[in-house]
Amino acid sequence: MKLNILPLLITCLLFVSLVIEAKEVRGVGSVKYSMFNKDVQPEAIELAKLDAWKSYTASFTSAQMAMYQSNLKSQFTTELPNLISNVRVEAEKNDKKAKVLNIAIRAEINDALVSDIFRRNSAAANQNYKAASNFGSLFLAKVVVSQKRFDERRTEVLSTKTQSTLDEDYASDNNSSIDSASNSEMSVRETGGSSVSKRAQTEYSVNEDYNAALADIVSERLESAGYSPLEYVELTDCGAPFIEDVYGEFRSNASMSSRMEKSIRDAAVVCSWSYIGIGSVTLSGHRTDSATGLRAVDANVAYSVWNIEDGRARRVASVRNKTHTATHQSELAAEQEAVIRAAEYALDIVISTLQQKSVR
């Protein structure tokens, strides 16, 4: 019995892995025919697969699209039979009057193979391991723990104008006279002014568990792209701030100060690193989603990469303040998913940018 269970378990795990690496797409193919025969439907399906692939490529980053259009389009076209699988016909309509067959399909694209083709054609992949560029990273996760808001301060300016009028009447006859007087007053009031709002004070908590998850994602993605990952702790021997000092700055500031950032880059130069990546994921907006009733969390990510091979820091790739939202029954699970989504997005963007620029 044990001998039968093990192969079954391996098969199940392999199946799950393939499902995770596949992305579902849809496409439509139309064929105009002079005479309907057995070749018309397969032709329409092939056109639908090309349409599905076109829809998939629309999700490429700008850097990936530049690589695809300039160098890799023919290679991907050749690999298309391996990239597209599990094709199912969802709808089919034969317009006999117009002599047009329309077919709508659903299929799956092998995400892992697509990433591998980009990786194999990058500059970093076309070098031996010893020549691989050193790539260090400082990628931290922080959670908003409190936010102090201030009441709006308003200054009012009041202007009042008063106008008085005196009316006098006089009348007389031969025997008597009458004097009369009346006063009337009109007041006009004008108001105006300005208001001043003080920015909310926010406190953050650095989460070391999420930091470990970020480090794993960075290491995995960099190795797959052909780089040699390095840990931040190695920089402290070259004058970089200790990680505890970095944590302290992140607890009270939304972003790292330019002074600390420069000290880290300078240390990377001293340590002869080729690249340094610095970024953060900020978790906030913990709430209950009104549509689903699930707990929702926002993760805002920012990440930049500098090339420092020549002793100067030149920014070569960056992701600026992109927010990802995750929902789950558990708030902790929503946080974890949001962190992973944000980190994977950032690494995909910067690596594809480096690949497009042929950065080794």
Rounded to whole angstroms, the Cα distance separating 122 from 226 reads: 8
Give first-to-last CA distance, the chain, whole Å: 51
pLDDT at 44 (0 to 100): 94
Say which residues have a Cβ less than 8 Å from residue 103's Cβ, sequence separation at least 6: 28, 29, 30, 41, 44, 45, 48, 89, 91, 92
- Which pLDDT does position 17 carry in this prediction? 40
Mean pLDDT, the chain, whole residue set: 81
Tens digit of each residue's pLDDT (9 = 90 or more) over 273-300: 999 999 999 999 999 999 999 999 999 9
Topology of 129-148+201-356 in CATH?
A: Rossmann fold (3.40.50)
The answer to whether 303 and 350 have CB atoms below 8 angstroms apart is yes
Confidence at 10, pLDDT banded by 50, 70, 90: very low
Classify strands 84-95 and 177-196 as parallel, antiparallel or unpaired: unpaired
Distance (Å, whole) CA 254 – CA 19: 38
Q: Which of 181-185, 330-334, 353-357 has the weakest average pLDDT? A: 181-185
Q: What's CA 284's distance to the chain center, in Å?
A: 15
- What number is the average pLDDT over the span 114-138? 72
The residues, any chain, with a CB within 8 Å of residue 8's CB and separated by 6 or more, are: none
What's the CA gap between 143 and 299, in Å, rounded?
9
pLDDT in tens, 247-281: 988 777 767 888 999 999 999 999 989 999 999 99
Structure confidence at residue 41 as a pLDDT band (50, 70, 90): very high
Residue pair 330/297 in contact by the 8 Å Cβ criterion: no
Burial (CB count within 10 angstroms: exposed 0-12, middle 13-18, buried 19+), residue 186: exposed
* pLDDT over 70, % of the chain: 74
pLDDT digits (tens, 9 = 90+) for 79-103: 999 999 999 999 999 999 999 999 9
- Overall average pLDDT of the 116-132 stretch: 64
Side-chain-side CA neighbours of 86 within 13 Å: the count stands at: 12
Strand 100-110 and strand 84-95: the pairing is antiparallel
CA separation for the pair 45, 53 (Å, rounded): 12
CA 269 vs CA 64, 235, 255: distances in Å: 29, 10, 22
Q: What is the pLDDT of residues 44-73, one digit of tens each?
A: 999 999 999 999 998 887 778 888 888 888
Residue 248: what pLDDT? Answer: 87
